[in-house]
Structure 1
């Protein structure tokens, strides 16, 4: 039950701003969550923080400590990124279109509609309301879409939809308020505006404004023509004769007052200059020549004087300023580029395409990819864990099969041979072969060593396959159909069709072989579960009738129990040997909750349409996970038939079915206000509205509300190690794992079992007693400390003294050490001695040790793979050195 959210796969990017922090951390929004990718270690994690709706804007402090997120509901989260916790929350009154930290980290500039707001950054202050509004500028006539700070955090350059850019002075100016300087001459929205500096003096002496109609304006600041009075902010008037003494006295008083004002607040510009009241002139106007495409993203690197731009046709360009020399002009795709940014050093470019779920990091000097990830275009339909739990395969309605590394969160191969939606996946026992079934009428076998489709299974006439299974030996492949209600059986070695199993009268949506024998179980919409003896060819040997359509079927890992879910929201448990119904779980009320925008009934009565569409046993068979057309994933205890825990998939209000109560104010004569799309910004940019959706046979389930996705779970799979499980949901593939830091399980405690007793046993050189005490406490840090306190020569004796009841916990600790500690030989010695001492007991009780042994096997396999390449390289180097020395 100690499962917590760990990562989100299948959707690396869905729109919004992407930023790079400290030249190594790529931060991007994924729905209402934030994904952080370490570009040095090539690992990605998803923060355990959820916003109220899809995140559209990100900003990070210069040192990378604080992260600011703003979602579509105008709600802001102030996050401590290293600790991954939310420090403060706030809701803006107007929609936010841009946000940026000042270089010194003191202020946050927020474009709230037409207003430019300057907020003081809260930092680590613990206050009821930590955000402090410093200034508000209301000079723009339309919403602000671009913001840039100068190097000293005193000036702001903003671009607006009113076809202008404005230069604001952040600090208060002595005397009356003066309007900001306007940069005019644009014929479309100013998408980006940036300050430029002189490399010698490091002063702001130029500015760039970039418009949506693919033009770049270069502006220069001329100090020689600056005739404004720096004291009063007004042009000096010629003094009349006879009043020189009086003017001198008044001017002295002005200077005196001005010095007093300057002492209270630092309001001077660079070297006493006021850029917003100075002389700016248009130096040149350059066109990107990409019409009819629109410019959708841009960024500027001050140190290298480079500009990168992205267009709605998928093309991006890199230009050297101020001469506007094109360095690169390449195409990523045919869809709109939604974000384009530099890293701090300027050697990496980050591009994002929301419609394709594409995220790229490109090194422009060597013209090579640092990162290239793309999620599924549509919702994920099916999942499959590899036998060693290191890989996770996903199939979706975009006809693609992707294989992900669970530990890093990266997709390393994509198979695109299918021509219709992928509906089922299955890993073979050898870990190097993956099977996939599709609506295109084929079942394909993929080689994960050579990354190719080495075998394709088809039927005599075209059929749509929706379920897939393979026996334990890997010799027989079975697939169930949607249209002909048959089960096709092929030989894995020859690819020949061996048999066609007929008897079902509805689509066969569930298939699974028994883990202990060659009996195949199938579930169908004809309200039956059938057992088939595939090898003997006897047809259906048993039929289990139900009152409603059967949606899926799964075997318990020991093969002594069969679970299936029906359309009325129940889970039935059968004894496959005696053919008897053991018990039934009524789960409709457990997954009830969440009201759709188009529902005419309340959420309390919405359980009528709720049912479980996917089931999955735990590795030891003690509990079962169930998910379906709901925002919940339910965990049941099989023996007692009780609900242990409910996992809520998401709190994202951008999805339908999350709220139990809807706001009646949002209901209009034309329908729900949230379903009325009155924003034509994408159409104006020359591209279609970018909405994710679903295609195929179950289109009404996911995108029934005019492009608004409905939260649900399509597939659940538990890793063979039992330490994690994955759920294919509307938000993506959510991975939950057991928290490794501390699991308090007081099953064998008394007053003498304390951390102090463990320390005392270690100080008295009693490693065996200390290890047993730490295992009774079940504190991870203490267990590992006691493991390392044992001398290598004493490992065998200590391993023999460990009671059988603590073996599972000790094996789990050793598996974790194998993956995370450098003392590899020491831990391997522990594993060997433990297996020698208790191997017979582990084999006799294999079911109890199944999850722990698979975790250990996964750690050993991963460690072996990590060391294989360096060892081979070192061996070759040593042979070369030895041979070279022998020749001499």
Structure 2
């Protein structure tokens, strides 16, 4: 089995904090999820998460107008510059101050940063300029505010900058020195200014404050100077109108779309409003829930509005004109306790401490459905073999069965007494469901068909920690308990007696090998023991204490190497072939073991987020003051905004429940559940940071054009003329010019299509199929397109099957083209049915006429030879009377050519076989 697994996506959380950004084309939405950035493609319905991590949660992100550079900044002011298209990290930088806002100029040459109480303008790194040692060059620093700057906004011509601050003022700054006279402070608000905007003409400025006031400013002369000459007038920005939102909650965020004069504001009670400016007309007033709106953004066209809620971890994309939701996603409110892959590997089900069950699509990364029927924490989930039925156990004392076709709860199983279920397992046939509890030491067995409690398996002397069923051929149930034993039960046998497998410590996790001949159990002492079920002997034992990465907590006065906390595994899972095992626990690592050799194959680090306990490794004395960690000191009295005093957010995924008044409580990094995909190319881990998916990287496909930088349209056409079709196609797709792709595609020789399709790099297969589907409906080359489609699918069928999500659009267009071709051919067949019959009859008639022609020609040639021998003496006389001879020839004697022409004309003008026979008889 392959071991080169890499992080591929983050599910289970869609938004944490900071601002959200639309891509320049308005089709993708970028959202910070903790210390990572996720991108949601709203057109193709899929998402991905960048591989890089910050050391703390991200507070601000920005994307340049060209859509090529992404800048993300964490709470400490450390920035990472990323190539958005290639998804590679370009540079790390530290602004050495807390950054609340960052925005690129509309021309993309500069970006402005709100760092503390200063506004810093930096040049955007550009490859066209002279390369320098430092990619970040600071252009200018603007001062003047007396408190932190909350937001920065550029004018449409990239000449001016508007800054909003907590000192209740907004300021105008100029980028160029020749415009420095416009510098001015806009004061008058009674609370700090949330944001300020230019309108499309740049002659009006809107400033919005937290108390719900919006001021409209215009550049006019001083009152009373209307009659003075222009050169004597004093021009300045003045308040023209004041409007108020009059909401019960404070204003949290706002944005303005200058092209459509649309103002969107969000409040702390979850309400958002749309206004048309400058008339301040209320267009819509809706609510996204009871929790506050943390951020708002609008796409360039002004059609879609995106909202983010930090307290609920919710993300919405709203189309205001049709009043419909484009995207509505929400992560778990609390930590995830368990996960399970569907049998086909296309979905993951997660169970949470908040009592909800969510179904996540692997390809798109979106939540498909949410079940909230459980009244308490959900502790376990399991799939039946057919994959359309799922079972869950909860602390509310119920085990529920879910229909994943109709998305409903159709069975509820309870015990004779009120007990809290901690684990669940399903028989492969789907007929029996078992559950264990931490309160009662018995295992409950129910019938899925009748919902009746069939039996209670007694034998354990401690709480049941885990249950696992074997395969359908050997349907045995294994149970692990805190009484340091594992028991294997034969549910369908006559005798239900079980022989215990004794261990040296309490059992925490259990996993049955897919063939049901072996099971693995994790114990409190950090060991994983493997037993053969038939012989009852221990096969191997792995000591994982040295493999675990357990970081130090903030309050620890020792390094992580000396910590004994979390040195065991609380969840383990076998791979599909039974040769690999992954294990995780209350620590910062996932360990992958090779079982035949009993060695550690790879270790995955869960998170680098230093805001979580358990990620730091070394002790730094500067962070310890009077025996307490500096990060645990409460500074809430020093902050001006009480709403920002969330030093410890207990609602982060993975956080422990505890006293909300305990100021030193911090979420800790841990892994609650792991599982291998049935397709063997991925595994998932439910962790503090969300649902992490690691997969074998199939995206690194070889592209021969990567070796050559000289890719131009001239070289592409030259390769096409020289018969280098493969290079020409690859270069055309690299240039991404539609006319060039079309010309190269139709320039390929028909006989060379099978060879070109076979050698085409897999990275270009989705694009060429999508291209064929886009032109096939209007193209006249039906057979040519069919040859391409046939050879591409034949040569790359396996790749297409493994990556169906890449070919959805192209194959759909091709299917539509093939349906049209089939429909047209059948339609033409019905229309020309009688014409075909007529042509068949005509062809028989023509054959008979040709045979008669040949017979007549032979007779005429014989007569001509006889006449030529008898009349040879009269040639001279015939030449003298040529005119008379010509008349005689027309009436009696004919030459060979004329005779043949006459009879041919007669037969060609005949309408039936009977008429042809009459002509032949008369001439004879």
TM-score for both structures, normalised by structure 1: 0.78
Q: Is the CA contact (8 Å cut-off) linking 1:355 and 1:691 kept in structure 2?
A: no
1:305 corresponds to which residue?
A: 261
Higher-helix-fraction structure: 2
Alignment of 1:505-520 (within 5 A): 505-515=461-471, 516-520=473-477
Asked if 1:714 is matched to 2:672, the reply is yes
> What residue in structure 2 maps to residue 82 of structure 1?
85
State the Cα distance separating 1:288 from its structure 2 match.
0.7
* Partner of residue 56, structure 1: 59
Contact 1:703-1:709 at 8 Å conserved across structures: no
Corresponding residue for residue 242 of structure 2: 285
Instruction: Give runs of aligned pairs for residues 25-44 of structure 1, distance below 5 A.
Output: 25-44=28-47
Counterpart pick for 1:617 among 574, 578, 584: 574
Q: Which moved more, 1:688-697 or 1:156-165?
A: 688-697
Aligned to 1:527: 484
Greater Cα shift, 23-32 or 657-666: 657-666
Q: Distance in 1 between matches of 2:654 and 2:87?
A: 39
Give the distance between the partners of 2:91 and 2:152, measured in 1 at CA.
23
The whole-number CA distance in structure 2 between the counterparts of 1:868 and 1:574 is: 53
2:291 corresponds in structure 1 to 335
Structure 1 position 678, deviation (Å): 2.2
- Match of residue 898 from structure 2: none
- Contact 1:555-1:562 within 8 A present in 2 as well: yes
C-alpha spacing 1:108/1:613, structure 2 compared with 1 (3 Å) = same
Structure 2 unmatched ranges of 5 or more: 703-722, 724-749, 774-787, 832-924
Would the alpha carbon gap of residues 153 and 789 (structure 1) be closer, same or farther in structure 2, given more than 3 Å must change?
Answer: same
CA distance in 2, matches of 1:326, 1:101: 30
Q: Does the aligned pair in 2 maintain the 1:377–1:692 contact within 8 Å? A: no
Whole-Å Cα distance in 2 between the matches of residues 864 and 117 of structure 1?
44
Q: Which of 211, 214, 230 lines up with 2:212 in the alignment?
A: 214
Are residues 1:354 and 2:327 paired? no
SS in 2 for 1:337: coil
Distance 2:277 2:7 in 1: 46
Taking CA–CA contacts closer than 8 Å with sequence separation of 6 or more, which of the two structures ends up with the larger relative contact order? 1
**Equivalent runs, 1:165-564 vs 2, <5 Å:** 165-173=170-178, 180-198=183-201, 204-222=202-220, 278-291=235-248, 293-515=249-471, 516-536=473-493, 538-564=495-521
Q: CA deviation at 1:391?
A: 0.9
Q: What's 2:687 paired with? A: 729
Between the aligned partners of 1:865 and 1:442, the Cα distance in structure 2 is: 46
Q: RMSD of aligned C-alpha atoms?
A: 4.0
1:144 paired residue among 140, 149, 153: 149
Alignment counterpart, residue 638 of structure 1, candidates 580, 590, 595 = 595
Change (3 A) 1:559 1:698: farther
**Change over 3 Å in CA distance of 1:58–1:679 after alignment to 2:** farther
1:83 Cα deviation from its structure 2 partner: 0.6
Q: 1:45 aligns with which of 29, 34, 48?
A: 48
C-alpha distance 560-827 of structure 1, shift in aligned 2 (>3 A):
farther
CA distance in 1, matches of 2:805, 2:170: 60
Q: 1:697 Cα shift? A: 12
Q: How many residues in Structure 1 have an aligned counterpart in Structure 2?
A: 755
Q: Deviations over 1:686-742 (max 9, x none)?
A: 998882437999647999984421111111111001000001110000101101145
Q: Is the 8 A contact 2:588 2:606 kept in 1?
A: yes
Distance 1:132 1:481, change over 3 A: same
Q: Secondary structure at the match of 2:203?
A: strand
Q: Is residue 511–residue 520 contact of structure 1 (8 Å, CA) maintained in 2? A: yes
Moved more, 381-390 or 499-508: 499-508
CA separation of 1:638 and 1:445: change in aligned 2, threshold 3 A: same
Aligned with residue 19 of structure 1, among 18, 21, 41: 21
- Any stretches of 5+ residues in structure 1 without a counterpart? 199-203, 229-234, 239-276, 745-762, 764-787, 799-810, 835-851
Equivalence map 1:651-800=2 (5 Å): 651-669=608-626, 671-679=628-636, 684-685=642-643, 691-693=649-651, 699=657, 706-741=664-699
Given that 2:654 and 2:688 are in contact with CA atoms closer than 8 Å, whether structure 1 keeps it comes out as no
CA distance in 1 between counterparts of 2:518 and 2:810 reads 36
C-alpha change, 1:868 and 1:424, in structure 2 (3 Å) is farther
**Alpha-carbon distance change, 549 to 866 in structure 1, aligned in 2, over 3 angstroms:** farther
Residues 441 and 463 in structure 2, CA contact (< 8 A), matched pair in contact too: yes
Whose Rg is larger?
A: 2
**Cα distance, 1:555 vs structure 2:** 1.2
Quote the offset at 1:634 in angstroms.
0.6
Tell me: CA distance 1:60–1:686, structure 2 relative to 1, closer, same or farther (3 Å): closer
2:653 and 2:690 in contact (8 A); partners too: no
Q: Distance in 1 between matches of 2:110 and 2:190?
A: 31
Kept in 2: contact 1:158–1:166 (CA 8 A):
yes
Distance 1:148 1:340 in 2: 14
SS in 1 for 2:562: helix
Q: Give the secondary structure class of the aligned counterpart of 1:286.
A: strand
Given that 1:196 and 1:206 are in contact with CA atoms closer than 8 Å, whether structure 2 keeps it comes out as: yes
